[in-house]
């Protein structure tokens, strides 16, 4: 199955083929925002994008309203991608080999011919693919071999991790794809410096010139309909109800809020916070019944609301209405920075990190001047930091992102960085029109 918006104009500049499994109407992964923002913004820097994604049937969770965010005129093709679990399994069970390298390996069979047709017709100057999922890089690898085009391999997360993938056949396939990708790609991009350094530690120095960082960011257009809010103005009454928000997925490992909830219980027992002057919203944590039960076990159900997902725009409005924002990112994710951090910066709100202080998210917050960071798995460490964070918000002295940081964190700036990478890989002068022979 292929679909597309209206055809791009015939007078395209040099163009780029973007390969991304996560793309609207998929709604489970925040990774759609990275590809979508590049698709929106590359045109301002001399590049016309086109996208190979997957047929909507591939996605477990879809939101048709997401399609409205796809730019008009963007060429998008959506080849079939069968999910081994849902389409090839019986009651959710399926042979392991059908999920090698991932559950959507069938996407390769349909995406490669579709992409080759696009390449013949539109003659892109560069290919870009993004992981997860691993089949995206397998498609990029195949296309690079067949066409010889420059190829940028984007790693939103490291492929090979200490405990992922666990399945031995998947792990062998991931290792092979990763090795071949790094060997054949023109450049490899990472979202954090820590992730890039981990690849430098595992790959020969002769390949390190390929590696660079293009972080995630926020989309200014997403904030366009949101109210303009001034920085926190202080001296709130002790009885004024303050709201802290965490927006996004939580886990039982790596983003476990248990110790944070126990810290709330301790402050509640001290009388520092009450249901009348304080509340926390855990928005869209995924396993809602589990986290509601956890809140009850910690005896803070009067302070903490576990809420279901809402449309993206509503989630942004909730961030903007909050008094402070929370981020959970433990040791298993030390080489990653959640995309919400950049939205938090743009919201110009105080931020508290429940983190491993040695991780990339802690480094990003500290570099931005945010000092309210506590070890996620220690309630004793969290209590004084949380108490201080609340006091700073009430006094109006809590840190918010600088204008310089907000500007540098935009996805428009990230698209400028990617366009410059495309320019360097293809020999196209920045801002130049089509090269001789291109159309």
Residues 267 and 348 in one domain: yes
Return the CATH number at 123. 3.40.50.2000
Q: Which DSSP category does 14 fall into?
A: E
**What is the model's pLDDT at position 10?**
35
In a domain, 100, yes or no: yes
**Residue 341: pLDDT band by 50, 70, 90 thresholds?**
very high
Angle between helices 258-270 and 288-297 (to 10 degrees): 30
Which residue is associated with the tokens 């500049």?
13
**What is the model's pLDDT at position 419?**
97
Residues 208 and 298 in one domain: no
Of all residues in the chain, the percent with pLDDT exceeding 90 is 72
Residues 187 and 291 in one domain: no
In a domain, 166, yes or no: yes
Residues 208 and 236 in one domain: no
How many whole angstroms separate alpha carbon 432 and alpha carbon 430? 6
How many whole angstroms separate alpha carbon 137 and alpha carbon 134? 6
SS3 205: helix
In a domain, 2, yes or no: no
**What is the model's pLDDT at position 99?**
85
**What is the model's pLDDT at position 435?**
37
- Name, in order, each residue with C-beta under 8 angstroms of 405's C-beta and a sequence gap of 6 or more: 345, 368
Which residue is associated with the tokens 């940028």?
152
**What is the model's pLDDT at position 438?**
36
Residues 81 and 143 in one domain: yes
The tens digit of pLDDT for each residue in 55-85 reads 999 998 888 888 888 999 999 999 999 998 8
How many whole angstroms separate alpha carbon 359 and alpha carbon 331? 7
The tens digit of pLDDT for each residue in 104-162 reads 999 999 999 999 999 999 999 999 999 999 999 999 999 999 999 999 999 998 998 87
SS3 198: helix
15, 48 in Cβ contact below 8 A? Answer: yes
In a domain, 108, yes or no: yes
In a domain, 439, yes or no: no
Residues 208 and 61 in one domain: yes
Range of the domain at 51: 14-217+410-426
Residues 252 and 188 in one domain: no
| pTM of the shown model | 0.78
How many whole angstroms separate alpha carbon 121 and alpha carbon 118? 5
Residues 285 and 176 in one domain: no
The tens digit of pLDDT for each residue in 150-209 reads 999 999 989 988 778 888 899 999 999 999 999 999 999 999 998 999 999 999 999 999
**What is the model's pLDDT at position 236?**
53
In a domain, 137, yes or no: yes
In a domain, 267, yes or no: yes
Residues 95 and 34 in one domain: yes
94, 28 in Cβ contact below 8 A? Answer: no
Residues 319 and 417 in one domain: no
Torsions phi, psi for 151 (to 5 deg): -135, 125
How many domains are there within the chain? 2
> How high is the mean pLDDT of the chain?
89
Which range among 206-220, 309-323, 343-357, 411-425 shows the weakest confidence by mean pLDDT? 309-323
In a domain, 404, yes or no: no
The tens digit of pLDDT for each residue in 24-49 reads 999 877 788 899 999 999 999 999 99
End-to-end CA distance of the chain: 26
Is residue 232's pLDDT more than 60?
A: no
Average pLDDT over residues 258-287: 96
Residues 256 and 332 in one domain: yes
437: alpha, beta or left? (left if phi > 0; alpha if psi -120 to 50): left
266: alpha, beta or left? (left if phi > 0; alpha if psi -120 to 50): alpha
**Residue 103: pLDDT band by 50, 70, 90 thresholds?**
very high
**What is the model's pLDDT at position 29?**
75
Residues 299 and 358 in one domain: yes
Helix (H) / strand (E) element for 262: namely helix 258-270
């Amino acid at each position: 199955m292929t679909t597309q918006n209206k055809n791009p104009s015939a007078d395209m500049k040099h163009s780029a083929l973007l390969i991304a499994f996560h793309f609207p109407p998929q709604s489970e992964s925040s990774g759609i925002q990275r590809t979508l923002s590049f698709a929106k913004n590359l045109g301002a820097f001399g590049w016309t994008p086109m996208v190979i994604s997957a047929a909507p049937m591939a996605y477990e969770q879809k939101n048709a309203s997401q399609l409205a965010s796809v730019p008009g005129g963007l060429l998008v093709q959506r080849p079939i991608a069968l999910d081994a679990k849902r389409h090839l399994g019986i009651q959710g069970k399926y042979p392991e080999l059908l999920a090698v390298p991932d559950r959507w390996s069938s996407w390769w069979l349909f995406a490669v011919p579709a992409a080759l047709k696009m390449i013949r017709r539109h003659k892109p100057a560069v290919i870009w693919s993004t992981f997860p999922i691993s089949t995206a890089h397998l498609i990029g690898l195949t296309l690079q071999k067949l066409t010889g085009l420059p190829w940028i391999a984007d790693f939103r997360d490291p492929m090979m991790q200490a405990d992922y993938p666990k399945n031995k056949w998947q792990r062998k396939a991931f290792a092979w794809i990763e090795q071949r990708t790094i060997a054949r790609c023109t450049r490899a991009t990472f979202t954090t410096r820590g992730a890039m350094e981990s690849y430098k530690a595992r790959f020969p120095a002769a390949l390190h010139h390929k590696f660079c960082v293009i972080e995630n960011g926020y989309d200014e257009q997403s904030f366009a309909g949101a109210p303009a809010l001034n920085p926190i103005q202080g001296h709130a009454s002790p009885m004024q109800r303050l709201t802290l928000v965490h927006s996004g997925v939580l886990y039982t490992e790596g983003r476990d809020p248990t110790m944070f909830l126990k810290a709330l219980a301790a402050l509640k027992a001290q009388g520092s916070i009450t249901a009348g002057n304080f509340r926390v919203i855990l928005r869209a944590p995924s396993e809602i019944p589990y986290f509601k039960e956890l809140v009850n076990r910690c005896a803070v159900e009067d302070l903490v609301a576990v809420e279901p997902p809402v449309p993206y725009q509503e989630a942004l409005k909730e961030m903007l209405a909050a008094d402070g924002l929370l981020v959970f990112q433990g040791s298993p994710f030390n080489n990653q920075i959640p995309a919400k951090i950049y939205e938090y910066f743009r919201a110009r709100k105080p931020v508290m990190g429940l983190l491993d202080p040695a991780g990339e998210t802690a480094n990003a917050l500290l570099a931005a001047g945010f000092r309210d960071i506590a070890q996620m798995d220690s309630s004793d460490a969290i209590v004084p930091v949380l108490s201080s964070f609340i006091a700073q918000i009430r006094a109006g002295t809590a840190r918010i992102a600088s204008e310089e940081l907000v500007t540098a964190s935009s996805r428009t700036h990230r698209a400028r960085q990617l366009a410059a990478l495309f320019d360097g890989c293809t020999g196209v002068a920045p801002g130049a029109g089509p090269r001789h022979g291109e159309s």
